[in-house]
Amino acid sequence: MPMKMEIWPGRPYPLGATWDGQGVNFSLFSENATRVDLCLFDGQTGRQSACITLSERTDQCWHCYLPSVRPGQRYGYRVYGPYDPAQGHRFNPHKLLLDPYAKQITGQMLWHDHHFGYTIGHPDEDLSFDTRDSMAGTPLCQVADPAFVWGDDRRPNIPWDKTVLYELHVKGFTRNHPKVPEHLRGTYAGLATQPVIEYLQRLGVTSVELMPIHEFLDDRHLLDRNLTNYWGYNTIGFFAPTVRYSATGELSEFKTMVKTLHSAGIEVILDVVYNHTAEGNERGPTLCFRGIDNASYYRQSPIDPRYYMDFTGCGNTLNMLHPRVLQLIMDSLRYWVTEMHVDGFRFDLAAALARELYEVDRLSAFFEIIGQDPILSQVKLIAEPWDVGEGGYQVGNFPVGWTEWNAEYRDVMRAYWKGDGGRTGHLAYRLTGSSDLYESSGRRPYASINFITAHDGFTLEDLVSYNEKYNEANGEDNRDGHNHNLSWNCGIEGPTDDPEVNALRRRQKRNLLASLLLAQGVPMLLAGDEIGRTQQGNNNAYCQDNELSWLDWHLDEDRQRLFHYVRRLIALRQEHPVFRRKHFFQGRSIAGADVKDIMWLNPDGREMTTQDWDQEHRRSLAVFLGGEVLGELDAHGKQMTDDNFLLLLNADHEPMTFTLLKLNGRTRWQIVLDTTTEDGIGRPRHLRGGSRLTLGPRSLVLLREHSNHQEVDDEWSLLSP
């Protein structure tokens, strides 16, 4: 028998289910609904225990207060209104709906035709109306208890110029980790264990960027192929951490993970998907937003509201033009900062959030609101600056205060090191923070998030091992994934026992990693690249929740050596501010200095001319970085200085001899990095300015000006014996 309970009017705000220590306030926005029912479910049996018609409606929010309800209560909604797809309305009270503001979502989605608001198989499916109840197999919302002892937890507040990002998947990172207790592998708790924390600290990364942890769904078509939406870019709950990564099912587990990482000095950044939802296009399921108020939540075609405007390639686009949808996203962001203590966000397909009508508007309401928000304007904001709509590629066009994944950097570095000609001019911009993209708008070098690889595409190991993608395991006949990978297999496709090919691949990885961690801007490392992780040529492993995606922690000598090389690169970057400047280079000296802050040099030691930059065949160049002319202040207001460095790059297949820069007859250069060696450590040689140094094919060398009057060489070769 349904239970009887006391029902009070409650309040319209806050939206969602809010426990105040005595009872729970429920509030749901729907502009076009005619009736809203709150359904309560027994936690033991899963059966519906009560159905309450919300009689209170304030500012288009339907609400009540239940003094007898406690945290842990499971619930959902049924929403009544017109079913008129031609006018953009798709209400269907036969479908149990999730609360968009749910802090916890429990239960597994068991797909069935009854989850769709229309009748599958009907002659005009999209205009039909399905009367089957969808309760069976639908996840439920759960009232959350926000209590947690944060103690003295505080955000690490790593300055952008000292930030080293590390993109990882919560499950895949620890699923096979031998030192993480088995019952914690693949969970938030597993990420907070001592072996993982120590690994991150040893590596030297400052900020973990977690791939989506908002509650998401596995697409029905993937489950039919025994696959899942492993990456998680299919959100259905913007406030709830997905339970699939939880060892306990409690909110406190996620909070403990954040607190533990903070205590180790590591920031937590969330990859968030506010551009679309898991409900897909007009033929998708009715699970939440579509059934609550389709016309408000989704961008619809102005010609025929039956169809969606799709700027995401996922079937729908959230309607950022509606104030309540904008409020939903802002409330979600503030919740994750204030209640869950995260340190920032990476916005998936962020250009979709900036579309006012059709055009991308970088001063849209979304960015204006974040820019003036006293909470959100102070956390790290990272844009994936594109979507799939017309004009959606917006690298360099986001507002001050935002950083961007710099795809220009990725493509130039890949092309240069695979040996493509005519890239040195672009290379110079990318190595120095991409001033051509960011300086004119008043942004700094750290607006550029530099990356060679990310979750989407080849891993670093595969980038140097495959010319083609191999995505057959995804079940889409290898049609999915990028075809323009700018990869090079070094002579043989895939794994090989050829020692020369493997040596070249190892050197190419060292070249790419050095280019990443010695460039101006903020480096982002894909988890596992530092230990040679492979996806066997799959460049779109979004549905591979298996050994193909999980990190392999059994490290042979080569993989351990690569880890220590990356660790050393990060330490070198952090030790020397000349590699992480807060301002762009000016190409000139400053008061009291007799050298420029940067000089671009030919291999013969001459400064580059316009004609030199235009040479299509050029694949070698040198850059002088003037550490003694930083022209920047430290945290205490004192002028910063650093060593002078000389970076030599040779992407040619032939050796190249460089004449080392000579500064006022006093220069001594010490080799500190040499990618021709297996550990990447430069041989302990000192060379005088004006002497010659021969680099091997496809190699990089970093030298530091050295004041020690040790014996020096006038010529030295780094060619492998």
pLDDT at position 721 over 50? no
493 a catalytic residue: no
pLDDT at position 671 over 70? yes
- The DSSP bridge pattern shows strands 165-168 and 140-142 to be unpaired
Across the range 555-581, mean pLDDT stands at 97
348, 408, 628, 705: which is the annotated catalytic residue? 348
Structure tokens at 655: 């050796």
Integer Cα distance of 664 and 687 in angstroms: 15
- Cα 118 to Cα 76, 94, 285, 317, 537: the distances in Å are 20, 11, 9, 20, 40
Beta carbons within 8 Å of 613's beta carbon, 6+ residues apart:
424, 425, 428
Listed range (4-8, 76-80, 462-466, 520-524) with the worst mean pLDDT: 4-8
Beta carbons within 8 Å of 407's beta carbon, 6+ residues apart:
385, 386, 395
pLDDT tens digits, one per residue of 119-138: 998 888 778 899 999 999 99
348 a catalytic residue: yes
- Give the per-residue pLDDT at 682: 76
| Nearest alpha-carbon partner for 15 in 76, 104, 101, 143 | 101
Peptide bond into 14 cis (omega under 30): yes
How much is the mean pLDDT over the chain?
A: 93
* CATH T-level topology, domain 587-717: Immunoglobulin-like (2.60.40)
Across the range 261-266, mean pLDDT stands at 98
253, 282, 384, 545: which is the annotated catalytic residue? 384
Domains 208-281+319-576 and 587-717 alike in fold: no
In the chain, % of residues over pLDDT 70: 96
Across the range 401-411, mean pLDDT stands at 97
Q: Which run of H or of E encompasses 694? A: strand 686-695
- Give the per-residue pLDDT at 713: 65
**Residue 1 pLDDT grade (very low, low, confident, very high; cuts 50, 70, 90):** very low
Question: Between vectors from CA 697 to CA 678 and to CA 538, what angle results, nearest 5°?
Answer: 70
| 0.85 exceeded by pTM | yes
Structural domain boundaries in the chain: 208-281+319-576, 587-717
Question: Between vectors from CA 213 to CA 548 and to CA 141, what angle results, nearest 5°?
Answer: 125
pLDDT tens digits, one per residue of 614-626: 787 889 999 999 9
Listed range (202-216, 567-581, 671-685) with the worst mean pLDDT: 671-685
pLDDT tens digits, one per residue of 83-100: 999 999 999 999 999 999
- Second-level CATH architecture of 208-281+319-576: Alpha-Beta Barrel (3.20)
pLDDT at position 394 over 50? yes
- Give the per-residue pLDDT at 665: 67
633: burial class by Cβ within 10 Å (0-12, 13-18, 19+)? exposed
What count of other Cβ atoms lies within 10 Å of the Cβ of residue 711?
6
CB distance 208 to 156 below 8 Å: no
